[in-house]
Amino acid sequence: MSLPWYVLPDHAADLPDPLPTRAPLPAQYIHNALPRLAPVIRGDIRNGRANSRRARLAFAQLAEALPVGLLPSRREVESGVRWLEREVWGNAHS
């Protein structure tokens, strides 16, 4: 099975085969894609408020890039934003 761009190879065994085409995007897929978004977002760190706005914009771009039907839910986006704030920006500020 060929992997979509948002799935890291070490998570391939956890994916359904075939991949869903009309279902909410599992949070795992989003978390797999986050490391690819992090370098872009990391360059635009200013303060906590800007970080959150930037994260939401990045997730909007991610959702637009995903195949039709594989869209993150609001809850998954919020979870991903919290992960970005904790892991990406927390590390960048340290």
Number of domains in the chain: 1
**CB-CB contact of 27 with 78 (8 Å):** no
In a domain, 9, yes or no: no
In a domain, 56, yes or no: yes
In a domain, 60, yes or no: yes
Query: Structural domain of residue 36, as residue ranges?
Result: 22-93
In a domain, 14, yes or no: no
- Distance CA(65)–CA(6), nearest Å, equals 10
In a domain, 3, yes or no: no
In a domain, 16, yes or no: no
In a domain, 80, yes or no: yes
In a domain, 51, yes or no: yes
Neighbour-count burial of 51, counting CB atoms closer than 10 A to its CB (0-12 exposed, 13-18 middle, 19+ buried): buried
pLDDT of residue 1: 46
3-state helix, strand, coil in the chain (%, to 5): 65, 0, 35
Per-residue confidence in pLDDT tens, the chain, 94 aa? 454 444 444 545 555 555 444 444 555 555 566 665 555 555 444 444 445 565 566 666 665 555 544 555 566 666 666 666 666 556 544 3
